């Protein structure tokens, strides 16, 4: 039971400090971390020349829980230009994903919550950086194959 409340405290501090996430650039890739339903999600905007990725290239990317999102998004609200972004979430089995405001409605003794870990903002940021490193390596490989 003590473990459950420790996870809730870590999650509350993480969410209270960072609110709704952030955007940043790493190795010339636009990255974002967003809060959704009690967990963090990480996204990377693919470079303009990469509009589509084959399944093998996506499967080759190693990130927490695998790539779970591949979507087209508008560059800006008034822009007609669409960008492609890929992402992952931290709401898998073994991930502690609970809206901290509803923690008092959950039975902390339930086996459902045992052995789970809250994935912090820092963890998601590190996963995003590793994902970008892999994308950059794939891009370098594609360029060298064309030459």
Cα(77)–Cα(27) distance, rounded to whole angstroms? 25
CA 131 to CA 40: how far, in whole Å?
A: 15
SS3 84: strand
3 state DSSP class of 85: strand
Nearest 5 degrees, angle CA 120-CA 131-CA 46? 115
pLDDT of residue 141: 81
Of the pLDDT bands very low, low, confident and very high (cuts 50, 70, 90), residue 1 is very low
Dihedral of alpha carbons 36, 18, 96, 102, sign? negative
pLDDT at 51 over 60: no
Percent of the chain at pLDDT exceeding 90: 26
Residue environment code for 37-56, b if the CB has 16+ CB neighbours within 10 A, otherwise e = ebbbbbbbbbeeeeeebeee
CB atoms within 10 A of CB 141: 11
Beta bridge partners of residue 74, listed in sequence order: 82
Top-confidence residue, 138 or 116: 138
119 confidence band (pLDDT: 50, 70, 90) = confident
Q: Give yes or no for residue 26 having a pLDDT over 80.
A: yes
Domains defined for the chain, CATH in brackets = 2-146 (3.30.1460)
Distance separating alpha carbons of residues 6 and 123, to the nearest angstrom: 17
pTM exceeds 0.75, yes or no: yes
pLDDT of residue 101 exceeding 60, the answer is no
Helical packing angle, 121-146 and 2-18, nearest 10°: 60
**H/E segment holding residue 20:** none
When the pLDDT of each residue in the chain is averaged and rounded to a whole number, the result is 77
């Amino acid at each position: 039971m003590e473990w459950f409340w420790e996870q809730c405290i870590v999650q509350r501090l993480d969410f209270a400090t960072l609110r709704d996430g952030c955007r940043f650039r790493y190795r010339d890739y636009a990255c974002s971390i967003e809060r959704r339903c009690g967990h963090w999600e990480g996204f990377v905007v693919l470079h303009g020349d990469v509009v589509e990725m084959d399944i093998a290239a996506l499967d080759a990317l190693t990130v927490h829980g695998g790539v779970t999102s591949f979507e087209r998004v508008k560059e800006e609200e008034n822009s007609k230009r669409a960008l492609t972004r890929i992402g992952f979430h931290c709401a898998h089995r073994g991930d502690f994903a609970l809206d901290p405001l509803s923690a008092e409605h959950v039975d902390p003794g339930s086996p459902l919550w045992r052995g789970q870990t809250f994935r912090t903002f820092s963890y998601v940021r590190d996963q995003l950086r590793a994902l970008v490193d892999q994308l950059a390596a794939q891009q370098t490989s594609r360029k060298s194959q064309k030459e």
